[in-house]
Structure 1
Amino acid sequence: MIPANRALAFLLIVSALAGCGGPRAVTGLPGSATGGASSAVVPIYLATSRERSDNPALPYSAGRSQELAFAEFDIGIPAGHRPGRVETSGRVPDPARHFTALAYAPIADRRAFIDALDAALEKRKPESREIFIFVHGYNNNIAESLFRNAQLTHDYEMGSVSVHYAWPSGASIPLYVFDRDSAIVGRVGLAETIEIAAQTKATRIVLLGHSMGAYVVMEALRDLAMSGRGRTLKRLGGVVLAAPDIDIDAFQSQADDIGTLPQPFTIIVSRRDRALGFSRRIAGGHPRVGSGSDIAFLQSRGITVLDVSDIDGGSHGVFASSETLMKLIDNSRLMRATLEDEQTAMSPTALAASAAAVEGATSLTVFLPARLIGRLAAVPPAR
């Protein structure tokens, strides 16, 4: 039996990992939202390995399904939205004040999902036909993870067709181990979701995994590589792992099994990430990739590392909440070169000048892959 003080300490640890408190968010379905109007609407296409739920406010549960379900949501962004935040309600959302699901339509099957994605892609210019797949982290219900995807899409002005992959998180503070097991269960569904995106008319597919969701991403990439579906991996035009809650040795094993990682491959780390510090304690002291414990190894595997320790507090969710990063990605040649077009090497002077153009961005440290460091060294300094 765990002594009361140790049990309390454990709950404090997992509470910090959760990063949220109070009533859990609800979608606002079916038509239960009241009040004003949303200021913007973000369509989100859902692929999920969660079981369907009888609760209309949360149409998918924490139960694990062996088959993917598909749907389309229209997520309303509140008029008073502050960039980087997800304003939610645990009762009856007001669309003027809270993220709200304004519409929900199940999609019958895989073929119909591909057709829906193609129809959305065709509404965009050929050069903008990109699919953005977001994979949420630990302790998220379906509303919270959908809303985070919508917030990222809206605040970063992505312009992509946004696909949300929801694996069966328990959405409960004490269920860290349940979520870790669910991440393993969810890898097959994510691998299938990536395959589906690869069968569309998208010109580019970008994959972002946060926290424990990064573990799901690596396991899905590993599953694709080891089952002879390497052609699907080649359709990925970029992978980003934000604050990955992955043991560094486990990551090395995953990377070895994958072989050649999709490019560009970027990891966002922070030495100030308290959540990953607690995760390390739970794991017996083993370092997490997202803490930036072995950047040299990551560089050797062709990975770009963004150290955000000194950006807007460097918290576990800074990738989504930082207005500095939003401005940097919107305006800076640095981020475009790092995350989008690494084939064009920039001189260190040009990189520094790009970062300096955004207030606060000079605190960002970029560790380029080893192969690019050699190319940059060959670039004559700017005059």
Structure 2
Amino acid sequence: MQGHGIGGRGLQTLCTVAVVLLSACAPRPGGETLTVVPEAEAAQSLAITVASTRGRDPQTGTYTDARARALNYERFTIAIPPDHEASKIEWPDEKPDPSRSFAVTARDPLPGLDIHRSGRGRQDVVVFVHGYNQTFPESLFRLAQVTADGHLPEQPILFAWPSAGTVVGYVADKDAALYSRDELAAMLGTLAADPDVGEITLFGHSMGGWLVVEALRQLRLSGQDAVIARLSDVVLAAPDIDVDVFRKQVEVIGPLDPPMAILVAPDDRALRISAGLAGARPRIGRTSASSPAVQALAKRYGVLLVDISAIGAVDGTHHNRFASLVQLMPERRDGLAQARAQVGAFILDPVSATLVALSR
């Protein structure tokens, strides 16, 4: 006789949820981490431009999960401590100290999207769109960590949408991301039209990857092909997108040059939960590059799908490997750039920083 308890798949999902919830039990950074403190001796100081659909308290400047009617703009200067450990964020205590933690040393509200130019000539930029269950400080300091560890020459821009910053806020976050689609598309149009902006890299993580693809689809459907053509690179890390939905999205967007890069890991626990919440619908970010169906999908739609499972996991969710992957960039930038011209499914060898082809 079949019982009426939780089935095998449901039990596995609940166990995975428990693992992620336990990993999230540590206190999360609050608004105090954005307190502006004097500069101190630090390994690096970064300027990050923020464009956000989050509401902002006019008195305190605190970003909330309220949905703003228009984009808020601000520039943050972030200090990276001298003893920073790659792929980590050294979170400050109640009072940030730039000598031993990430710290904000300046905040400057902006009237519009004002790119911080480090020198003469056109300024390359990288737009980072964060994922689900992210507070504003977490997304800001993660971009600072990636920029510092990757020695990125591009000006970092954080597109911060109003995530609720809670594990149980998945549906609310999906709505908040969708709410922000028009603003992301409009911001990309602003960057594309700026003659002082050089190459534009668009990087979406997790649910932010879904938002990126939705914005590209909207640009294509509205005839803004010139904006898409201005994008030098589109990268989706662990994208939280239903496989069938992704297929429909890329059918509209069409092939990109260079190809859209998708970073996947079959052991991604966060996307396992996401699939469970979506009725066991598989997510593109958790597909296996060794699957013939996945290889065929990547070639058919002209995308570069890369399994990055060999990269060390940053935390128990196995969902943030991009934070470690960026360390390969300084030494292997040229080789990885050449590999970006390929389509199909590959595995990344972290030792040689080369792509190993799986399909024939």
Please report how far the alpha carbon of residue 125 of structure 1 lies from its aligned counterpart in structure 2 after TM superposition: 5.6
Change (3 A) 1:191 1:19: farther
Q: Which residue of the partner structure matches residue 230 of structure 2?
A: 235
Looking at structure 2, the residues matched to 183 and 18 of structure 1 have their Cα atoms a distance apart, in angstroms, of 26
The question of 1:359 aligning with 2:351 is answered: yes
Please report how far the alpha carbon of residue 157 of structure 1 lies from its aligned counterpart in structure 2 after TM superposition: 0.7
Change (3 A) 1:332 1:366: farther
Q: Which residue of the partner structure matches residue 71 of structure 1?
A: 74
Q: Which residue of the partner structure matches residue 52 of structure 1?
A: 56
Q: Which residue of the partner structure matches residue 170 of structure 2?
A: 176
Q: Which residue of the partner structure matches residue 283 of structure 2?
A: 288
Q: Which residue of the partner structure matches residue 186 of structure 1?
A: 180
The question of 1:165 aligning with 2:168 is answered: no
Question: Partner letter of residue 195 of structure 1?
Answer: G
Please report how far the alpha carbon of residue 333 of structure 1 lies from its aligned counterpart in structure 2 after TM superposition: 4.4
Please report how far the alpha carbon of residue 18 of structure 1 lies from its aligned counterpart in structure 2 after TM superposition: 9.8
Structure 2 residue matching 1:222: 3-state secondary structure: helix
Looking at structure 2, the residues matched to 246 and 39 of structure 1 have their Cα atoms a distance apart, in angstroms, of 37
Give yes or no for contact 2:246–2:284 (8 Å, CA) kept in 1.
Answer: yes
Deviations 1:281-324 (A, max 9, x none): 221111110112424202321111111122224921111124xx
Give yes or no for contact 1:93–1:99 (8 Å, CA) kept in 2.
Answer: yes
Looking at structure 1, the residues matched to 312 and 34 of structure 2 have their Cα atoms a distance apart, in angstroms, of 34
Structure 2 residue matching 1:131: 3-state secondary structure: strand
Q: Which residue of the partner structure matches residue 327 of structure 1?
A: 328
Unaligned stretches of 5+ residues in structure 1: 346-350, 374-383
Looking at structure 2, the residues matched to 227 and 280 of structure 1 have their Cα atoms a distance apart, in angstroms, of 30
Structure 1 residue matching 2:180: 3-state secondary structure: helix
Count of residue correspondences: 341
Looking at structure 2, the residues matched to 256 and 17 of structure 1 have their Cα atoms a distance apart, in angstroms, of 36
Please report how far the alpha carbon of residue 167 of structure 1 lies from its aligned counterpart in structure 2 after TM superposition: 0.6
Give yes or no for contact 1:73–1:105 (8 Å, CA) kept in 2.
Answer: yes
Looking at structure 2, the residues matched to 308 and 160 of structure 1 have their Cα atoms a distance apart, in angstroms, of 23
Change (3 A) 1:90 1:144: farther
Larger helix share, 1 or 2: 1
Q: Which residue of the partner structure matches residue 252 of structure 1?
A: 247
Please report how far the alpha carbon of residue 367 of structure 1 lies from its aligned counterpart in structure 2 after TM superposition: 6.2
Q: Which residue of the partner structure matches residue 136 of structure 1?
A: 130
- Correspondences of 1:305-320 after superposition (within 5 Å): 305-313=305-313, 315-320=318-323
Looking at structure 2, the residues matched to 332 and 108 of structure 1 have their Cα atoms a distance apart, in angstroms, of 35
Looking at structure 2, the residues matched to 150 and 249 of structure 1 have their Cα atoms a distance apart, in angstroms, of 33
Looking at structure 2, the residues matched to 53 and 14 of structure 1 have their Cα atoms a distance apart, in angstroms, of 34
Q: Which residue of the partner structure matches residue 92 of structure 1?
A: 95
Question: Partner letter of residue 235 of structure 1?
Answer: R
Change (3 A) 1:54 1:76: same
Please report how far the alpha carbon of residue 129 of structure 1 lies from its aligned counterpart in structure 2 after TM superposition: 2.7
Change (3 A) 1:329 1:237: same
Looking at structure 2, the residues matched to 188 and 273 of structure 1 have their Cα atoms a distance apart, in angstroms, of 29
Looking at structure 1, the residues matched to 133 and 226 of structure 2 have their Cα atoms a distance apart, in angstroms, of 33
Question: Partner letter of residue 156 of structure 2?
Answer: S
Change (3 A) 1:265 1:367: farther
Q: Which residue of the partner structure matches residue 40 of structure 1?
A: 44
Change (3 A) 1:284 1:328: same
Structure 2 residue matching 1:69: 3-state secondary structure: strand
Looking at structure 2, the residues matched to 74 and 18 of structure 1 have their Cα atoms a distance apart, in angstroms, of 32
Question: Partner letter of residue 23 of structure 1?
Answer: P
Give yes or no for contact 1:17–1:275 (8 Å, CA) kept in 2.
Answer: no
Q: Which has the larger displacement, 21-30 or 148-157?
A: 21-30
Give yes or no for contact 2:209–2:239 (8 Å, CA) kept in 1.
Answer: yes
Q: Which residue of the partner structure matches residue 218 of structure 2?
A: 223
Question: Partner letter of residue 47 of structure 1?
Answer: A
Change (3 A) 1:236 1:71: same
Looking at structure 1, the residues matched to 17 and 108 of structure 2 have their Cα atoms a distance apart, in angstroms, of 38
Give yes or no for contact 2:147–2:156 (8 Å, CA) kept in 1.
Answer: yes
Give yes or no for contact 1:237–1:264 (8 Å, CA) kept in 2.
Answer: no
User: Which of 16, 20, 27 is equivalent to 2:20?
Assistant: 16
Change (3 A) 1:17 1:46: farther
Please report how far the alpha carbon of residue 159 of structure 1 lies from its aligned counterpart in structure 2 after TM superposition: 1.0
TM-score, structure 1 normalization: 0.79
Question: Partner letter of residue 166 of structure 1?
Answer: A
Deviations 1:89-130 (A, max 9, x none): 363322222211211111113xxx2xx31xx33x3364x731
TM-score, structure 2 normalization: 0.84
